[in-house]
Amino acid sequence: MEYTNLGRTGLQVSRLCLGTMNFGPLTTEGDSYVLMDRALELGINFFDTANVYGWKFGEGLTEQIIGRWLAQGGGRREKVVLATKVYNKMGEWPNERGLSAYHIRKAAEDSLRRLQTDHIDLYQMHHVERSTPWEEIWQAMEQLVREGKVLYVGSSNFAGWHIAKAQAHAEKRNFMGLVSEQSLYNLNARMVELEVIPTCEDYGLGLIPWSPLGGGLLGGVLKKISEGRRASERMQEDIEKHRPQIEAYENLCQAMGENPADVALAWLLHNPVVTAPIIGPRTLEQLNGSLRALEIKLSDETLTKLDEIWPGPGGAAPEAYAW
């Protein structure tokens, strides 16, 4: 396994991050334990979750599963860099959502209880909160850091200017502020190249891409369908919308002798701003296979071909659309 610093911090995390969103709804608790144990065996030490995962309103089901796994001991908690999130609605009362100091404190305490741990390594704001001032948000986060309940703070689904604004307010308070941003980023979703990635680079944030395979679109979907795999109605619509690109992409991967999913991950890992794409395996086979991406080195010719198949926005702003 390869390791890198999380943004500008001294914290070392694996180049692949284990996503846990399937734990509970799609992956049984027992199978989730097997996947997490295997991840540690493979050297994956970076686990990502959120208080809303599990999709049973207000229960934090996925955090509970991870907590019971951690409680088995055996050095599990000491080996894992544990990331979770705060923002989404966790109850019916008005203060059980968002990024008010009230909700941040309660959500953190609830996540710690469910995860059966005394600290969260990376506490991420799941979305920007436009109605709460940064003075309030940072005051709440600073208090959690002082108490040792949170070590680092990250963002998710922020625009570049949100990151810049957050950091400006953190600097006024002599607080470290954000160390990472978790964004939608893959070959078919490259909008973050305009401003989010340049902002992360400038402020020293590590980028953690979610949906690195585009919901399966970049995982060899045409080949799977030809082998009898059924696609959802939404996936069928996406395939028809992008069929020429997918065909060209899968043909390129076949010529390389690589699986499309591995090439998609390798492309993300090629970007120096990317810390670790989030992989969400449902089976041991998928988890074991994902490590191949760390071995693939993409040539300039291949990168050019990928840009031709999946064109981005033209680079960083404003050069992408102005002189």
Helix or strand holding residue 83 (H, E) = strand 81-86
Tokens 């690109």 label which residue? 245
Q: Do residues 260 and 220 make contact, with C-beta atoms less than 8 angstroms apart? A: yes
Determine which one of 53, 123, 152, 203 is catalytic: 53
- Work out the number of other CB atoms within 10 angstroms of the CB of residue 237: 11
b vs e for 67-104, b when ≥16 Cβ sit within 10 Å of the residue's Cβ? bebbeeeeebbeebbbbbbbbeebeeeeebbbbbbebb
Q: Do residues 296 and 177 make contact, with C-beta atoms less than 8 angstroms apart? A: no
Residue 13's beta-bridge partner residues? 4
3-5/17-19 β-pairing: unpaired
Q: CA 56: distance to chain centroid?
A: 21
Token couple for 287: 């988890």
Contacts of 4 (CB under 8 A, 6+ apart): 12, 13, 15, 206, 275, 276
Q: Do residues 265 and 212 make contact, with C-beta atoms less than 8 angstroms apart? A: yes
Known active-site residue 123: no
d(C-alpha 79, C-alpha 41), whole Å? 11
Active site residues: 53
